[in-house]
Amino acid sequence: MSSSTEFSLAEAVAVLTRTPAALDALLRGLPNSWVYCNEGKDTWSAFDIVGHLIVGERTDWMPRARIILDHGEARPFDPFDRFAQERESQGKSLEQLLDEFARLRKENLAALRELNLQSEDLTRRGRHPALGSVTLSELLATWAVHDLTHLHQLSRVMADQYRDVVGPWKAYLGVLQCNGHSAP
């Protein structure tokens, strides 16, 4: 079974539902050396990534879904602030962020269910401020892949700490060859 080209709301929700517990299992209680390490200047740590996911829950996915349903393409989405977590995570612990992410995700998935979206709703269009016309299904698929892109980033950020200490095995470890693709 190779790539699918179909979007399924139930499939996307299955991923979205699992991300908070997966990040919790991976990160809660880890030594600070893993939690606050990054890949160098202007790159993100595990702490930054969880903060960014929280900002997405607050300002991106469901707010944009509602804009599509209420206004269609007439009202473009508000731009997403990719750096808001620098302010909003200040003074919080990783454990607080993990709890907050889990709570917001749960609330958002409950709100998504309440919309009771039908297949014709998924083709409705909105306007992204930079990308132009997009559909509701593209937004919801992106929500799920956005989780995966940050899991991908997180594994790379953590692995990077051990780039030297793995010695000659470096050649076999694909994650150490990943340069981040100029995006998470």
Q: Which residues contact 121 (CB under 8 A, 6 or more apart)?
A: 69, 115, 136
Question: CA–CA distance from 59 to each of 23, 106, 116, 179 (Å)?
Answer: 20, 15, 21, 28
Q: Which residues contact 183 (CB under 8 A, 6 or more apart)?
A: 149
Strands (E), 7-155: 125-128, 132-135
To a copy of itself, the closest distance from the beta carbon of 157 in angstroms equals 9
To a copy of itself, the closest distance from the beta carbon of 77 in angstroms equals 12
To a copy of itself, the closest distance from the beta carbon of 47 in angstroms equals 10
Nearer to a copy of itself, 91 or 174 (CB): 174
Closest CA to 20 of 102, 95, 96, 97: 102
To a copy of itself, the closest distance from the beta carbon of 52 in angstroms equals 13
Backbone angles phi, psi at 89, to 5 degrees: -90, -10
To a copy of itself, the closest distance from the beta carbon of 163 in angstroms equals 6
